[in-house]
Amino acid sequence: MRIGFSATAATLLGSTLLLAPVLNAQQQSAPVPDAPAPQPTPLTEYSGPITPGIGAASKGTSSSGEASQTPTQAPPSQPDTFQQKPAEVPPAAEAYDRSTTLIRSYTNFVEIPVTVKDSKGNLVAGLHPEDFRLFENDQRVPIAFFTTSSFPLSMAFVIDQSLTSDVMAKVNQSLGAVQGALAPFDEIAIFSYNNGPQERTGFTGAHSARVPAVLAFTKATGRDMQVPVNSGPLAGCNIHYNGSCEDPVLQPGGSTGGGPFITIPKEIHTLNDAILAAAKELASRPKERRRIIYVVSDGKEYGSKASFKDVLHFLQQNQIIVYGTLVGDSARWGQGYLSRFHLPFTMYDNRLTSYVNQTGGVLYSANNINGIEQSYAKIAETARAQYTLGYYSHLPTLDSRFRKIEVRVDRPNVEVTAKRGYYPTAEDLH
């Protein structure tokens, strides 16, 4: 019995092993039926919107039976179709070379440095050509060139030495920070003015050893306002003899003075002449560099030979931007604002503001040494972080009339700073 059972089991096992490949092949060849597709039943009894937390309502009514208001979507913004050809945006390494090529090759190419700040005064980055709108004489013009690359600076640094002695001392101590705000590829010329401008040094490398030496020699004591005295023994002489005051007994009023007119000493602040002298030096610099005048002053102007209109005309002809740091009375809150208004037949208390606004510069106010030093770095940063836009003017090349420029940015709560316009000159013809 044991031998027969073992043989039978061996026979069945062998048959199973022989049939296994056949069964596997049949199972693999047999198709597996697909699962039935889901058939959702439409909610025909609910035709209204389904609100989370409230449920479904019939069309046109809410869950409480009142008529519901379906929120309307805002219409899609219309694309700007004015810019037929996209602006040329060269790589950062080629932006400077490409810009100089456009300036030299096309006489009607206009370059505009633009500064964009938010409501807190911070620089706005990340804008594209599509965010800008350019207008020349109130007519929109397409943007042909756009870059965010920085350009080398040619800066004429102008120091006001007609400040009061206390304010002048703060300016003197801050001059050491000027060189640190500039890059090695920048250049600087130094001017000063009191009763007339004086060029301290022509353009030299911003990090050269000459700059701190010249700034040290440019330090001054300043001057304080004189008190008008027209009576008594300290009164001014009305009669002079060989440059000396004659005997006061022979003068009207005797030794007690008593002249019929009160002579008030006039303050001399030749801001116009100083900016013009710096602008003439800047006009000879290559146009491929960013030409800027940086003035540290209280903004007062009186006694200049050049008028504001003539100096501004020269600045707008030569693409020069004026930046400034207000010190002294003009830097104080409230008083600095009132100094922008001019009374007839009086001294201009803040003429620097007009230069900055018309040429597209930036103006800071500082009351202490730390604030003045920080303004140097801020202005250098602002001049480098500008957007550079370019377009081809539709006006004749030889037209010497003033051309108004307006730059707008399609962003809310931003402040756009750019030059108000320019005068084309014969220098633009290459």
Those residues with Cβ within 8 angstroms of residue 49's Cβ, 6 or more apart along the chain or in another chain: 56, 57, 68, 70
pLDDT, residue 336, reads 46
Q: How confident is the model at residue 257 (pLDDT cuts 50, 70, 90)?
A: very low
Ramachandran bin of 242, using left for φ above 0, alpha for ψ from -120 to 50, beta for the remaining angles? left
pLDDT digits (tens, 9 = 90+) for 373-400: 999 999 989 988 899 999 988 887 667 7
The answer to whether 227 and 196 are in contact (CB under 8 A) is no
SS3 label, residue 65: coil
Q: Is residue 338 part of a domain?
A: yes
Q: Is residue 409 part of a domain?
A: no
Q: Is residue 238 part of a domain?
A: no
The answer to whether 238 and 255 are in contact (CB under 8 A) is no
Number of domains, the chain: 1
Rg of the chain on CA atoms, in Å: 39
Q: How confident is the model at residue 225 (pLDDT cuts 50, 70, 90)?
A: low
pLDDT, residue 265, reads 58
Q: How confident is the model at residue 63 (pLDDT cuts 50, 70, 90)?
A: very low
Least confident of 12-21, 37-46, 118-127, 204-213: 12-21
What domain range is 367 assigned to?
A: 149-218+268-384
Q: Which is nearest to 110 in space by CA: 390, 427, 426, 404?
A: 390
Q: Is residue 301 part of a domain?
A: yes
Those residues with Cβ within 8 angstroms of residue 215's Cβ, 6 or more apart along the chain or in another chain: 175, 176, 178, 179, 190
Q: Is residue 38 part of a domain?
A: no
Q: How confident is the model at residue 92 (pLDDT cuts 50, 70, 90)?
A: low
CA dist 156 and 276 (Å) reads 11
pLDDT, residue 150, reads 86
Q: Is residue 429 part of a domain?
A: no
The answer to whether 410 and 133 are in contact (CB under 8 A) is yes
Q: Is residue 36 part of a domain?
A: no
Q: How many CB atoms lie within 10 A of CB 400?
A: 11
pLDDT digits (tens, 9 = 90+) for 126-154: 999 999 999 999 999 999 999 988 889 99
Q: Which is nearest to 391 in space by CA: 152, 148, 151, 135?
A: 135
SS3 label, residue 167: helix
The rounded Cα 363 to chain-centroid distance in angstroms is 10
Amino acid found at 190: I
CA dist 338 and 332 (Å) reads 10
pLDDT digits (tens, 9 = 90+) for 259-316: 555 555 567 899 999 999 999 999 999 888 999 999 999 999 988 999 999 999 999 9
For 44-69, letters b (16+ CB in 10 Å) and e give eeeebeeeeeeeebeeeebeeeeebe
Those residues with Cβ within 8 angstroms of residue 359's Cβ, 6 or more apart along the chain or in another chain: 312, 315, 316, 320, 321, 322, 419, 420
Q: How confident is the model at residue 237 (pLDDT cuts 50, 70, 90)?
A: low
pLDDT at residue 228 greater than cutoff 70: no
Those residues with Cβ within 8 angstroms of residue 109's Cβ, 6 or more apart along the chain or in another chain: 102, 103, 144, 145, 390, 391, 392, 393
Q: Is residue 328 part of a domain?
A: yes
Cβ-based burial of 207 (10 A; exposed 0-12, middle 13-18, buried ≥19): middle
Q: Which is nearest to 300 in space by CA: 221, 202, 223?
A: 223
Per-residue pLDDT, averaged over 183-201, amounts to: 94
Residue 181: CATH number of its domain: 3.40.50.410
